[in-house]
Amino acid sequence: MRFLCHNCNVFVYDEERGDPKLNLKPGTKVEDIPDTYRCPVCGAIKCCLHPLGEETVSQETEEEPILVDKDLNYYRDRGREMLTNICGVYPVCDGDYDHTCFGQKYGAPIGMGGAGQGKTFSTNYNTLQQYRLKMKVIKTHHEPEMSISIFGKKIIIPVMGAPLSGAKPSLNAAISEEDLYWGLLKGAENFGSIGAVGNTPSAADDLGLNTVGKNQGWGIPFFKPQSQDRLIELFHLAESLDVIAMGVDLGGAGSTYWSSSGKRLYRKNEDDLKELVDSTSKPVIFKDIMSVEDALTVVDSGASACYVSNHGGRVLDSGQGVAEVLPGIAEAISGKILILADGTVRSGFDVLKILALGADVALIGRTLAQACIGGGETAVQMYFDYVKDDFHRAMLLTGCDTLKHVNMNILDKLECPLISRIK
């Protein structure tokens, strides 16, 4: 008999076959599954397994040999297994309330979710989904020109990897910190883009930077807003390793991991920003900018890029979505400085939307981490390829021949906002 997990409606357990990944031999009845069982998709417990209706029971008698195609879905499935109880690697990574990552953690690590109840994470998704793409297909054919130069380097689509870190607390220790950084950096590079790394209190604060160094500088290290002296030291080291650019995630001042590790982080003022920019000849990026005032200060500091982000909702709960603030920020600073933005960008269609809202480059966080855990640099590169195909399609079908054609005119905003499924 086969059973469906009623929590995720994805995982099916077949008693006849058992499940080698769950250590369940063929013939293991549901009632004999140990209580330690957790659904490999969503982490739900055993009582969520319900018999599948007769009509859906397979009538096949002969076993077909299973040929494993190591495509992106294969690596996502592997990632799901390795992230059990932390992240369901769901078809849509939106921080929804019925996902494993959602909800208050009461002091435990926030895993792949968000701070507090995780509302800012899902608000990123809901506010981006308020925008729809207008289809427009009657036009002389041109292959969309998708490449862009950033910090003097050409990338083949305006998409990069967002800085990630914290393999131990956030990713079930399913990968080592260094392998996470390496997979993100190399996968992005092999595709034709640039990856980024963060820094975490559970590893040396220069591990990400040194991994970029190991990759001949191809990548962008982001540092938490540590003391000014330490940041300047890290900036000098980054310059000596010839990194493409370096950044500070200013919202990291609210990092739950750093505060629980007892390592201090600080808010930075206008003078601090200028001092950091002046301390290096390399491009500097300030991340986690969510207001016009902060964005103007970033421009004044002489930085090379303003990175609009709420840190994936991981620092401030009940916050605004990136798609809500991006158009206002872009109106104030567009053309003065490069604008980067992230927040539930999952597909090439999402990339086009976030560019139309005012970003020059879109960055992807969680779903690249999932890919990296499932298949390292190979899967990260596959994820970029997947995004590129849909981005090409999206440009073609909205009448955009070049990135200059991408603006608010290709978007339709729902008057009545999508009702969040959050309870």
Ligand X SMILES: Cc1cc2nc3c(=O)[nH]c(=O)nc-3n(C[C@H](O)[C@H](O)[C@H](O)COP(=O)(O)O)c2cc1C
Specify the residue, 39 or 128, whose C-beta has the smaller distance to ligand X. Answer: 128
How near is the Cβ of 416 to ligand X at its closest, in Å?
24
Which one among 342, 350, 360, 377 touches ligand X, defined by CB under 6 A? 342
How near is the Cβ of 369 to ligand X at its closest, in Å?
5
Determine if 89 is a binding residue for ligand X (CB under 6 A).
no
How near is the Cβ of 103 to ligand X at its closest, in Å?
16
* Element housing 5 (H / E): strand 2-5
> Could you tell me where the beta strands, DSSP code E, fall in 274-415?
284-289, 305-308, 338-342, 361-364, 411-413
Q: For residues 32 and 35, what is the distance between their CA atoms, to the nearest angstrom?
A: 9
Determine if 120 is a binding residue for ligand X (CB under 6 A).
no
Which one among 40, 88, 116, 166 touches ligand X, defined by CB under 6 A? 166
Which one among 112, 231, 306, 340 touches ligand X, defined by CB under 6 A? 112
In 3D space, the residue among 306, 331, 267, 316 whose CA is nearest the CA of residue 124 turns out to be 316
Determine if 164 is a binding residue for ligand X (CB under 6 A).
yes
Residue 138 token pair:
């009657």
Specify the residue, 19 or 294, whose C-beta has the smaller distance to ligand X. Answer: 294
**How crowded is residue 181: how many other Cβ atoms within 10 Å of its Cβ?**
32
List binders of ligand X among 205-264 (CB under 6 A): 222, 249, 252
How near is the Cβ of 348 to ligand X at its closest, in Å?
14
How near is the Cβ of 116 to ligand X at its closest, in Å?
15
Q: What contacts 254, CB < 8 A, 6 or more positions away?
A: 115, 311, 315, 316
List binders of ligand X among 44-73 (CB under 6 A): none
In 3D space, the residue among 270, 225, 215 whose CA is nearest the CA of residue 247 turns out to be 225
Burial degree of 18 (CB within 10 A; 0-12, 13-18, 19+)? middle
Which one among 184, 203, 212, 345 touches ligand X, defined by CB under 6 A? 345
Q: Are 218 and 184 in contact (CB under 8 A)?
A: no
Which one among 128, 157, 188, 369 touches ligand X, defined by CB under 6 A? 369
Specify the residue, 165 or 215, whose C-beta has the smaller distance to ligand X. Answer: 165
Which one among 28, 84, 117, 170 touches ligand X, defined by CB under 6 A? 170
**How crowded is residue 359: how many other Cβ atoms within 10 Å of its Cβ?**
27
Query: Which DSSP string do the residues of 222-283 spell out, in sequence order?
Result: EE----HHHHHHHHHHHHHTT-S-EEEEGGGGG-HHHHHHT-------HHHHHHHHHT-SS-
Applying CB under 6 A, the site for ligand X has a residue count of: 27
Specify the amino acid at residue 91. Answer: P
In 3D space, the residue among 189, 180, 160, 162 whose CA is nearest the CA of residue 309 turns out to be 162
Specify the residue, 314 or 388, whose C-beta has the smaller distance to ligand X. Answer: 314
Specify the residue, 78 or 311, whose C-beta has the smaller distance to ligand X. Answer: 311
Residues near ligand X (CB under 6 A) are: 112, 124, 162-166, 170, 198-200, 222, 249, 252, 287, 309, 311-312, 314, 342-345, 364-366, 369
